[in-house]
Amino acid sequence: MRFVCGVDLGQARDYTAVAIVERQAAERVWAVRYLERYPLGTPYPETVERVKALMNRPPMRGDSQLVLDATGVGRAIFDLFRRGGMGRRVAGITIHGGDAVVLDPALSGYRVPKRDIVGTLDLHLQQRRLKIAPGLRDADVLLKELQNYKIHISESGHDSYGTWRSGDHDDLVLAVGLAIWLGQRYMALPPGPPEAVTPIGPLAKEFFSGLEPQAFPQDPDQFAMGNFDAGIRTRWPR
């Protein structure tokens, strides 16, 4: 499995967000190759068709896994993706506030504490094992979401996750987090420090360039948490 597509399904006031990450074992990094937020109110059947088009084109076809945030949308919406021609390549994640990851056969996936998804994303960013190409559509939106994200620990020890201001969104953060979490679950990166990202191959370059208004960047750059030399300050916990 080379690619993982994470989808945070929006509801009435939330965007549907899609993120595709590529596993680069030799470099020991996940490279974000595609980001998009669909317009508010996009119908679920249209979302299914758009995601299906991504999953069924080379180089994604036959070398990718789709993971959905199924929290709150119900089994019927998950089944739309299953019947949409993606079959066993679809895994559903139900996010909860507990402590344990539990297998969920009904969704071919898992029930996962939100802290696990956020923690996995946090760790990969801090270790510089997640590369984000700044020229991607919606890369600036993802960066803003990261800057506005926070973890709150109550006096009783309860943890909660989300944006620190009312009205902000965290859809792309969650889509990337889902992809990284499942990717690490199914096929974790080798241990060791990251290396320079290999330029994208010609077939993949053609595919992703066709999805983006800009030419696909050859070498994804790093938006690292705490990279104050780059003028980036985040509220993400260290």
Looking at mean pLDDT, say which of 4-18, 76-90, 131-145 comes out highest: 4-18
For 60-92, write each residue's pLDDT tens digit. 988 999 999 988 887 888 889 988 777 678 999
Give the range among 59-73, 110-124, 174-188, 220-234 with minimum mean pLDDT. 220-234
Strands (DSSP E) contained in the chain are 3-8, 16-24, 29-38, 64-69, 90-96, 102-104, 109-113, 130-132, 149-153, 159-163
Q: What are φ and ψ of residue 182, in 5° steps?
A: -70, -40
- Contact between 111 and 75 under an 8 Å Cβ cutoff? The reply is no
Q: Taking each helix axis from N to C terminus, what angle separates 171-187 and 114-126, rounded to the nearest 10 degrees?
A: 80
Going along the chain from its start, the domains and CATH numbers come out as 3-230 (3.30.420.240)
- Is the preceding peptide bond at 59 cis, omega within 30 degrees of 0? yes
- List the structure tokens of 88: 């066993």
Give the range among 86-95, 101-110, 140-149, 160-169 with minimum mean pLDDT. 160-169
- Contact between 32 and 16 under an 8 Å Cβ cutoff? The reply is no
- List the structure tokens of 3: 């690619």
Average model confidence (pLDDT) across the chain: 78
pTM of the complete model:
0.77
In a 10 Å sphere around its CB, with 0-12 CB exposed, 13-18 middle and 19+ buried, how is residue 156 labelled?
exposed
What's the confidence (pLDDT) of residue 227?
30
Longest dimension (CA), the chain: 53
